[in-house]
Amino acid sequence: MSIRILLADDHNLIRQGLCALINNQEGMEVVAEAENGRAAVRVARDVRPDVVIMNVTMAELGGIEAARQIRARLPKTKVMALSMHRDGELVTEMLKAGASAYLLKTCDAQDLVRAIRAVVADQTYLSPEIVGVVTEAYLDQSSGTPKTNGPALTPRQREVLQLLAEGLATKEIALRLKRSAKTVEMHRRHLMQKLGLYSIAELTRYAVRKGLVPLDT
């Protein structure tokens, strides 16, 4: 039986290239695609793929929160991150969210194929350039060395930050998250206090720097 794969990336060209590559492999099949994290969660629930290959920075819902939701709803589905970002915080947060693999978009085709087969076999796969990032993060935690990546955000704070950085107004975010505008304002205030930032522009720059939103947002 073929490995059933969902591709989630906000770039059409990348999805098309990945689809062609994967469908040419024996025993692998792309069964669905999604253009953002929120769609990925919805489509994964509908098609129940074996593997989701997901960009980390996408509009509407980032890969970290999308991975967390997919793994919570579909524990047998494996999530692989495929990203241009090698920031330590992004890598560790993606792995904490349940990703079984983290590959850079500079990897070659055979790395991707090996990673797919590895996660299906319940193994973890990291791009060679990522291994050092994960090791460094582990050593920092073990030694108690203060992290320099900034304060940890809750999943909801991360989601609100992304939507603010994408230019959505409070009422729009409230509708998107099915929360009250008052609750969204509370999250925004807590974000600013936690990060020491005092405007939407500063929050947006922070989100871009951390890879929570695409550079062209």
Across all residues in the chain, what is the average pLDDT?
86
The answer to whether 7 and 18 have CB atoms below 8 angstroms apart is yes
Query: Is residue 97 classed as helix, strand or coil in its secondary structure?
Result: coil
**58 and 106 assigned to the same domain:** yes
| pLDDT higher than threshold 90 for residue 65 | no
Q: What is the CATH number of the domain that holds 198?
A: 1.10.10.10
Q: What are phi and psi of 150, to 5 degrees?
A: 95, 170
pLDDT tens per residue, range 113-157? 999 999 999 999 998 878 776 666 555 554 454 444 567 788 788
112, 142, 172 - which closes a domain: 142
pTM metric for this prediction: 0.72
Residues 9-34 have a mean pLDDT of 94
Q: Could you tell me which of 106, 100, 104 has the C-alpha nearest to residue 211? A: 104
| Overall number of domains in the chain | 2
User: Residue 112 is which amino acid?
Assistant: L
Lowest model confidence (mean pLDDT) among 23-27, 36-40, 78-82, 128-132: 128-132
User: Residue 81 is which amino acid?
Assistant: A
Domain interval for residue 168: 155-209
